[in-house]
């Protein structure tokens, strides 16, 4: 069974935090942040919002665009590493709240690669005939786990959700993919406490072990080669030359990282979709949000080959190539 992507949706919290706002609370400046990251501002979830509420809003938008009732959805896959709670899954909350009574639902934890992981997992159900369609969501509320006194991390992340609807089609539009992991780099980006290895306690809270920890330089050096290899290997699997890919939509981590990848592959930065200046790093939500921005900016046309590339904690990396179907609903 062939697979096509027919609609996209997103939800972004209303609150905007600019670099100047951060400069009033930590030793930084708009110039310092923008020069090193490319980011100007980011969205922050309101106190009443959580990962599931963001995911639900994005899900409702994409189903409304597609013009399909929730009971017709066969599967819901949510990519997140910041769920409302360890269990139940965010996907089950989405399933209940939107009324997708016939859908099975589960979460995927693959950090910033999570959306591409989830998209390809969902696509396999359709390709085997197990489902007719799937709702795939990337959603994160990173702001609850950021040390707002640490300028090396608090300037990077934002909150948001993006969703895609995929379904069976006549022509195969999911042309090829790779999913990668390298656990050797597991401590380069992690949250030390809160799980079974180091359960929450007064001591872990006092030691600020429930905040994200990152070794930025080592992460950069480890991830860039992974990204370049994944891009080239995906092209090979899809039977597509890199120059035949019209647009690359990477995880919106850091402008320097994306510039390094462009240089490594000897392709112009203009072939990458960038919106991190507006939203920062929204982890698993960044790719679907950027993909929808690209559509709205008129950067994607029917027949175009679009590459999605995720990379992040784990370490994980994932890429795929999608041929843009003429049935896509803006």
Domains and CATH numbers, the chain: 2-172 (3.40.47.10), 175-323 (3.40.47.10)
CA dihedral 212, 213, 217, 218 (to 10 degrees): -110
Question: Is the Cβ–Cβ distance between 247 and 271 less than 8 Å?
Answer: yes
**Which structure tokens are listed for 138?**
């990337």
Question: Is the Cβ–Cβ distance between 277 and 254 less than 8 Å?
Answer: no
Among the listed residues 209, 115, 128, 211, the one whose alpha carbon sits nearest the alpha carbon of residue 164: 115
Show the beta-strand stretches assigned E in 157-230. Answer: 160-169, 174-181, 189-190, 213-214
**Which structure tokens are listed for 162?**
């993006």
Q: Quick check: pTM over 0.95?
A: yes
Question: Is the Cβ–Cβ distance between 121 and 108 less than 8 Å?
Answer: yes
CA distance to 110, 180, 222, 287, 319, per residue, from 186 (Å):
12, 13, 11, 22, 20
Query: Is-cis flag, bond preceding 315, omega within 30?
Result: yes
Three-class SS state of 193: coil
Among the listed residues 211, 90, 193, 65, the one whose alpha carbon sits nearest the alpha carbon of residue 140: 90
Percent of the chain with pLDDT over 70: 100
pLDDT at 176: 98
pLDDT at 258: 98
- Residue 220 to residue 292: CA distance in whole angstroms: 26
pLDDT in tens, the chain (330 residues): 999 999 999 999 999 999 999 999 999 999 999 999 999 999 999 999 999 999 999 999 999 999 999 999 999 999 999 999 999 999 999 999 999 999 999 999 999 999 999 999 999 999 999 999 999 999 999 999 999 999 999 999 999 999 999 999 999 999 999 999 999 999 999 999 999 999 999 999 999 999 999 999 999 999 999 999 999 999 999 999 999 999 999 999 999 999 999 999 999 999 999 999 999 999 999 999 999 999 999 999 999 999 999 999 999 999 999 999 999 998
pLDDT at 326: 93
- Residue 56 to residue 40: CA distance in whole angstroms: 27
pLDDT at 330: 84
* Residue indicated by tokens 């780099």: 185
Residue 219, φ and ψ in degrees, nearest 5: -65, -45
CA distance to 91, 95, 287, 306, 315, per residue, from 136 (Å):
9, 12, 12, 17, 22
Known catalytic residues? 112, 251, 281
**Which structure tokens are listed for 221?**
């050096």
In 78-154, alpha helices (H): 90-98, 114-127, 151-154
Burial class (CB in 10 A: 0-12, 13-18, 19+), 264: middle
């Amino acid at each position: 069974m062939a697979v096509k992507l027919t609609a996209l949706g997103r939800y972004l919290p209303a609150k905007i935090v600019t670099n100047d706002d951060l400069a009033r609370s930590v030793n930084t400046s708009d110039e310092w942040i923008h020069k090193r990251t490319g980011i100007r501002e980011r969205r922050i979830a309101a106190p009443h919002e959580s990962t599931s509420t963001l995911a639900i809003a994005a899900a409702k938008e994409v189903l409304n665009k597609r013009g399909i009732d929730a009971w017709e959805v066969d599967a819901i896959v949510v990519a997140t590493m910041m769920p409302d709670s360890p269990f139940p899954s965010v996907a089950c909350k989405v399933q209940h709240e939107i009324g997708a009574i016939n859908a099975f639902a589960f979460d995927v934890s693959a950090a910033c690669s999570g959306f591409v992981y989830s998209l390809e997992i969902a696509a396999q159900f359709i390709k085997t005939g197990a489902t007719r369609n799937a709702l795939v969501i990337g959603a994160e509320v990173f702001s609850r786990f950021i040390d707002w006194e640490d300028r090396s991390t608090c300037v990077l992340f934002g909150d948001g959700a993006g969703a895609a609807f995929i379904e069976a089609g006549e022509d195969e539009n999911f042309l090829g993919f790779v999913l990668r992991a390298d656990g050797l780099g597991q401590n380069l980006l992690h949250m030390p406490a809160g799980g079974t290895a180091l359960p929450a306690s007064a001591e872990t809270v006092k030691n600020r072990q429930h905040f994200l920890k990152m070794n930025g330089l080592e992460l950069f050096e480890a991830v860039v080669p992974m990204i370049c290899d994944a891009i080239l290997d995906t092209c090979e699997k899809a039977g597509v030359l890199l120059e035949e890919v019209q647009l690359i939509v990477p995880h919106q981590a850091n402008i320097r990282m994306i510039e390094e990848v462009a240089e490594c592959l000897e392709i112009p930065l203009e072939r990458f979709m960038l919106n991190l200046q507006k939203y920062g790093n929204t982890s698993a939500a960044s790719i679907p949000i950027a993909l929808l921005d690209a559509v709205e900016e008129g950067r994607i046309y029917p027949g175009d080959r679009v590459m999605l590339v995720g990379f992040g904690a784990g370490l994980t990396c994932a890429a795929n190539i999608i041929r843009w179907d003429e049935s896509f609903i803006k």
